[in-house]
């Protein structure tokens, strides 16, 4: 006992530290959760995107109703050119519309970018890394919280859109059940593209570190650049197009039994689209970890 006392008294500095509790990953997740939850802007962006998405989808189905009854009354029509037209209602095109999911993708990407540029542009990141010197833990916690929030919100939005849309057309017997495999694939893709976009946004935020430039960058990447790869003239153009997360989502969420949907000259498989989404997850996480660890804070 006396030996112990004498060693601690020669170095009083060390005496203070040993009672440190074991570090846990969930503490870092709690830190990131408090950071996200205490910023009003985060919730405003997410809520606005979610409400707008649900509104667009339900309103889309609602405006279908007036044509639906007319077309159901005359399901087979002969066109003036002699072509026979069979009416088929696509139960997913409006309920899980492409334009609405792009809003959710935008919201997710903005939040993802914000988790990084919000720290780097303010200098907060130095305070964070002084508290948690091991940077990969911080990035991992950010990813966990970001994916949890965006996936949950996207799933709620997707389910409301899907179930609400199908309920509106249920008495016309053209809706899809949630037990339908096509519906489940669509719901999964419509949900998961949002956290994927959020992770891509996070990568842009970590790379660029500036608010405006990060947002412009990720918007250009998700929505503008894919537009340059339209058309069916060249196969390689179509193949590049299939690599963007938005295109992967629409390929998966499309109702495969719509006879009037043109898949294009070079369609892609569901597996390919899932791999594209998974690929962006891996690339975003890997690259974000790399740049955050390598560069000076």
Residue number, 20 or 81, with CB nearest to another protein: 20
Min dist CB 28 to another protein, Å, is 6
Min dist CB 214 to another protein, Å, is 15
Residue number, 7 or 127, with CB nearest to another protein: 127
Residue 84's SS3 state is: strand
Min dist CB 140 to another protein, Å, is 12
The CA dihedral of 30, 281, 230, 94, to the nearest 10 degrees, is -50
> How far, in Å, CA of 153 to CA of 190, rounded?
12
Min dist CB 281 to another protein, Å, is 25
Residue number, 21 or 181, with CB nearest to another protein: 21
Query: Is the distance from CB of 164 to CB of 60 less than 8 angstroms?
Result: no
Radius of gyration of the chain (CA): 25
Task: Looking at 124-269, list the stretches that DSSP marks H as alpha helix, in order from N- to C-terminal side.
Answer: 124-131, 135-169, 181-208, 211-219, 235-241, 245-253
Phi/psi of residue 85, nearest 5 degrees = -115, 120
Phi/psi of residue 86, nearest 5 degrees = -100, 125
Min dist CB 20 to another protein, Å, is 5
Residue number, 107 or 175, with CB nearest to another protein: 107
> How far, in Å, CA of 106 to CA of 101, rounded?
8
Query: Is the distance from CB of 105 to CB of 194 less than 8 angstroms?
Result: yes
Min dist CB 32 to another protein, Å, is 8
Residue number, 4 or 17, with CB nearest to another protein: 17
Residue number, 58 or 113, with CB nearest to another protein: 113
List residues near another protein by CB under 8 A. 12-14, 16-17, 20-21, 23-24, 27-28, 30-32, 34-35, 38-41, 118-119, 122-124, 126-127, 129-134, 137, 296-297
Q: Which two tokens stand for residue 94?
A: 């409006």
């Amino acid at each position: 006992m006396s030996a112990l006392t004498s060693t601690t008294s020669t170095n009083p500095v060390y005496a203070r530290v040993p009672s440190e509790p074991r570090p846990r990953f969930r503490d870092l997740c709690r830190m990131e959760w408090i950071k996200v939850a205490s910023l009003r802007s985060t919730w405003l962006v997410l809520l606005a995107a979610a409400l707008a998405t649900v509104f667009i989808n339900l309103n889309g189905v609602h405006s279908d109703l007036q044509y639906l009854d007319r077309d159901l009354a005359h399901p087979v029509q002969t066109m003036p050119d002699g072509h026979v037209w069979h009416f088929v209602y696509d139960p997913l095109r409006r309920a899980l519309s492409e334009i609405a999911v792009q809003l959710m993708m935008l919201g997710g990407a903005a939040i993802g970018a914000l988790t990084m540029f919000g720290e780097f542009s303010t200098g907060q990141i130095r305070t964070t890394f002084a508290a948690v010197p091991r940077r990969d833990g911080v990035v991992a916690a950010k990813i966990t919280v970001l994916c949890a929030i965006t996936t949950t919100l996207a799933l709620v939005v997707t389910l409301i859109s899907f179930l609400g849309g199908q309920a509106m057309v249920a008495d016309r017997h053209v809706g899809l059940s949630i037990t339908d495999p096509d519906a489940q694939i669509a719901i999964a893709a419509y949900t998961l593209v949002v956290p994927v976009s959020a992770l891509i946004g996070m990568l842009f935020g970590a790379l660029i570190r500036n608010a405006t430039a990060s947002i412009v960058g990720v918007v250009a990447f998700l929505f503008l650049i894919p537009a340059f790869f339209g058309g069916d003239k060249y196969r390689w153009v179509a193949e590049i197009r299939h690599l963007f997360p938005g295109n992967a989502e629409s390929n998966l969420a499309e109702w495969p039994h719509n006879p009037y949907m043109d898949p294009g000259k070079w369609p892609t498989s569901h597996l390919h689209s899932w791999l594209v989404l998974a690929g962006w997850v891996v690339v975003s996480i890997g690259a974000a970890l790399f740049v955050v660890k390598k560069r000076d804070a």
